[in-house]
Chain A
Amino acid sequence: NAGVTQTPKFQVLKTGQSMTLQCAQDMNHEYMSWYRQDPGMGLRLIHYSVGAGITDQGEVPNGYNVSRSTTEDFPLRLLSAAPSQTSVYFCASRGLNYGYTFGSGTRLTVV
């Protein structure tokens, strides 16, 4: 099925560990973004990309890196996990118009 695929769905990390959240879409969308969702905060934009090779920071980029080597993939890297990064992470992609198609989310806990 076409859509946005995020892996893993759940992850527990220890403080200081690194990991990569994977995101792939098969809709040939140019625009992709990463959001985090925390209780009472809505969805906050971490990083986004308007096409392969182009990325930029959103509202809360600190502690996260991204790259966009292909149109399909947009991984999010946590270099040194902190408890403040405990959250639900959503990847989303968008075509020329309308809103995003979201992945199913990754629930990350940092202990």
Chain B
Amino acid sequence: AQKITQTQPGMFVQEKEAVTLDCTYDTSDQSYGLFWYKQPSSGEMIFLIYQGSYDEQNATEGRYSLNFQKARKSANLVISASQLGDSAMYFCAMRERERDDKIIFGKGTRLHILP
């Protein structure tokens, strides 16, 4: 069964608009972590934001925030005031503490910011 689901293969968003990238996950663990990574066309993987399953508040890092809805098993990434440089592939990932602490990735969402 797929552990991380990103249902949006691609998105087009106008510059300066807010963007929400969807991510749902499946786990029976109580302790886990959720991540978002950005992969620009240059290919490197850039860590954006982390949310622990026991964190009571949604994580924020600058223009990035993670909308964590534990009951729905949802961890959407919100990018405020999008910029052209936000055009990239975005991956949601999960780390399960009780599964040897491996990190597994979703298939990604390609985000295009339009000028």
Q: Interface on A for B, CB 8 Å cutoff?
A: 31, 33, 35, 40-45, 48, 50, 56, 58-59, 88, 90, 92, 94, 98-102, 104-105
In this complex, what residue of B is CB-closest to A100? Answer: B103
- Assess the B37–A56 pair: CB atoms within 8 A: no
- Give the size range of B's interface with the partner: 20 to 34
For the residues of A in contact with B, the DSSP-based class is strand
For the residues of B in contact with A, the DSSP-based class is strand
Name, among A40, A42, A50, A88, the residue most crowded by chain B CB atoms within 10 Å (CB to CB): A42
- Assess the A99–B104 pair: CB atoms within 8 A: no
Which chain B residues lie closer than 8 Å to A50 at the CB level?
100-101
Contact of A104 among B35, B44, B93, B107 (CB under 8 A): B44
Name, among A59, A94, A98, the residue most crowded by chain B CB atoms within 10 Å (CB to CB): A98
Alpha-carbon distance A101/B35, docked complex (angstroms):
12
Which chain B residues lie closer than 8 Å to A58 at the CB level?
102
- Assess the A43–B101 pair: CB atoms within 8 A: no
Q: Is B84 in the interface zone, CB < 8 Å from A?
A: no
- Assess the B47–A43 pair: CB atoms within 8 A: no
Q: Is B50 in the interface zone, CB < 8 Å from A?
A: yes
Given A99-B37, A99-B103, A105-B43, does the pair A42, B50 have CB atoms closer than 8 Å? no
Alpha-carbon distance A9/B108, docked complex (angstroms):
23
